[in-house]
Amino acid sequence: MTEPLRLGIAGLGTVGVGVVKIVRQKARLLNARAGRPIEIVAVSARTRDKDRGVNLSHYDWEDDPVKLATRDDVDVFVELMGGSDGPAKAATEAALAAGKHVVTANKAMLAIHGQALAEAAEEAGRLIRFEAAVAGGIPVIKALTEGLAGNEITRVMGVMNGTCNYILTRMQSAGLTYEEAFSEADGLGYLEADPELDVGGIDAGHKLAILSSIAFGTQVNFAGVELEGIGAITIEDIRQAADMGYRIKLLGVAQMTGRGLEQRMSPCLVPAASPLGQLEGGTNMVVLEGDEVGQIVLRGAGAGEGPTASAVMGDVMDIARGLSLPTFGIPASALSEAHPAQGTVPAPYYMRMTLEDRPGALAKVAKVLGEAGISINRMRQYDHDEPTAPVLIVTHATQRAALDTALDAMATLSEVQGTPVALRIEKV
């Protein structure tokens, strides 16, 4: 295998440019490692005339990514355009149909069309690789699919949206409100054009759905991810959590239970002293748990030119070296349907609410919890000047359904002001 591996790259944003730079600047190293040269033959992007800080004149230009993807002289179609549908999907499908391998960083496309694309890849006898789609530069897809291939995976967890973790960390460390931290992240260019993709947990939810499929041998099912964003987290929650030895993280958790596949992406409390609790700023962390290996923790940059391009190149090098692997670890036809779990594994919950300061208010709340079968581990009422009292409750492990029953009942109590906050305390 000394013939070159020829790439066609569609999408020349930060990541695409990063990949071009690596292929140009590290040609000798890549050749030594792959046993063959890695070459770019053609590129494509929306705008041709734009200074991208890298010389593209050696490569053919294609305005149409589908045309790029199906060129006779392309072995691997590198899809870095993004978007779950549209040109990215059309070009990916065309590439596979034309017998090309595909390397992509497109989490949305895989989370939504992963099963169909995996089937198309297998029909064509080609690979789709997507290390860059999950947790940026961290080689987590490889660790899960290959390194832990001798394990039954028991749980996958992750902080996989750097922007959310940045916002929560700034609230924690600088005492900013959610709105202030959000604005700061926005000013730094950390937010997606639609910020809800970040703070609503959608982007991280896409990543979790992809990991779940590999971990549990199920068809990727983003619709089955319970999504809750970080928009309701207040500085008060951050402080109370810290006071009890916890941090609040937008945490993804996937596990196969007797009641189906549980996939959650939601703000959770984790111990401040745990690796997840100690994760600050834009860094990502993924925790893989296997029945043999125990807990493996992977930490690294979740975004940015270098880290994401590094992940893309890892996939390109695998293909150059002849790796052969089904998209989600087992053949697409063997992936079982993912039945979303009814209810989640019981856990303790953190609750914060505002009560009118009158006799019996706390008793009524306690009664509601008791009637829902929820027992209280800790309760605090804080010193206050206003006629309302902030109250904090930590429950013993309970079903989420019981908690929802209690929250519904609280909504009918005139003593409870606004909507109580309820956050899961995850055992990590």
- Which pair of structure tokens corresponds to residue 351? 């609750």
Cα(338)–Cα(411) distance, integer angstroms? 34
Of the residues 39, 75, 131, 198, which one makes contact with its own copies according to CB under 8 A: 131
Of the residues 90, 97, 323, 397, which one makes contact with its own copies according to CB under 8 A: 323
Instruction: Rule CB under 8 A: say whether 313 interacts with its own copies.
Output: yes
**Are 71 and 41 spatial neighbours (Cβ–Cβ below 8 Å)?**
yes
x-or-dash string of contact with its own copies, 257-296, rule CB under 8 A: ----------------x-x--x-----------xxxxxxx
107 is in an annotated binding site: yes
Instruction: Rule CB under 8 A: say whether 322 interacts with its own copies.
Output: yes
Site for its own copies in 184-223 (CB under 8 A): 217
Cα(199)–Cα(205) distance, integer angstroms? 11
* DSSP H or E segment with residue 128: strand 128-129
DSSP 13-66: SHHHHHHHHHHHHTHHHHHHHHSS-EEEEEEE-S-SS---SS--TTSEE-S-HH
Of the residues 97, 242, 317, 379, which one makes contact with its own copies according to CB under 8 A: 317
Of the residues 7, 10, 20, 22, which one makes contact with its own copies according to CB under 8 A: 22
β-pair partners for 301 = 283
Of the residues 24, 27, 35, 382, which one makes contact with its own copies according to CB under 8 A: 35
145 in helix, strand or coil?
helix
Cα(255)–Cα(211) distance, integer angstroms? 11
Look at residues 3, 64, 69 and name the one whose alpha carbon lies nearest to residue 31: 3
Cα(183)–Cα(171) distance, integer angstroms? 12
Instruction: Rule CB under 8 A: say whether 324 interacts with its own copies.
Output: yes
Per-residue CA distances from 355 to 180, 352, 370, 392, 402 (Å)? 26, 10, 18, 10, 21
Of the residues 39, 79, 262, 318, which one makes contact with its own copies according to CB under 8 A: 318
Of the residues 4, 306, 340, 348, which one makes contact with its own copies according to CB under 8 A: 306
Q: Is 240 exposed, middle or buried (0-12, 13-18, 19+ CB in 10 A)?
A: buried
End-to-end CA distance of the chain: 45
Q: What is the DSSP letter of 144?
A: I
50 is in an annotated binding site: no
- Binding window for its own copies (CB under 8 A); candidates: 48-56, 69-77, 222-230, 327-335: 327-335
Cα(151)–Cα(295) distance, integer angstroms? 11
What count of residues does the chain have? 428
Look at residues 161, 214, 221 and name the one whose alpha carbon lies nearest to residue 191: 161
Of the residues 14, 84, 151, 177, which one makes contact with its own copies according to CB under 8 A: 151
Could you say which of 100, 142, 207, 249 is catalytic?
Answer: 207
Instruction: Rule CB under 8 A: say whether 27 interacts with its own copies.
Output: no
Least spacing, CB of residue 34 vs its own copies, in Å: 8
- Which pair of structure tokens corresponds to residue 406? 């209690």
- Binding window for its own copies (CB under 8 A); candidates: 99-107, 316-324, 370-378, 417-425: 316-324
190 in helix, strand or coil?
coil
Instruction: Rule CB under 8 A: say whether 80 interacts with its own copies.
Output: no
Give catalytic status of residue 207 as yes or no. Answer: yes
Instruction: Rule CB under 8 A: say whether 170 interacts with its own copies.
Output: no
Instruction: Rule CB under 8 A: say whether 300 interacts with its own copies.
Output: yes
Of the residues 69, 112, 133, 316, which one makes contact with its own copies according to CB under 8 A: 316
Of 149 and 363, the one with the shorter C-beta distance to its own copies is 149
387 in helix, strand or coil?
coil
Instruction: Rule CB under 8 A: say whether 297 interacts with its own copies.
Output: yes
- Binding window for its own copies (CB under 8 A); candidates: 149-157, 176-184, 190-198, 247-255: 149-157
Instruction: Rule CB under 8 A: say whether 143 interacts with its own copies.
Output: yes
Instruction: Rule CB under 8 A: say whether 330 interacts with its own copies.
Output: yes
Binding positions for its own copies, rule: CB under 8 A:
18, 22, 26, 29-30, 32-35, 131, 137-139, 142-143, 146-152, 217, 273, 275, 278, 290-301, 304, 306-307, 309-314, 316-318, 321-326, 329-331, 334
Active site (catalytic) residues: 207
Annotated binding site for L-homoserine: 192
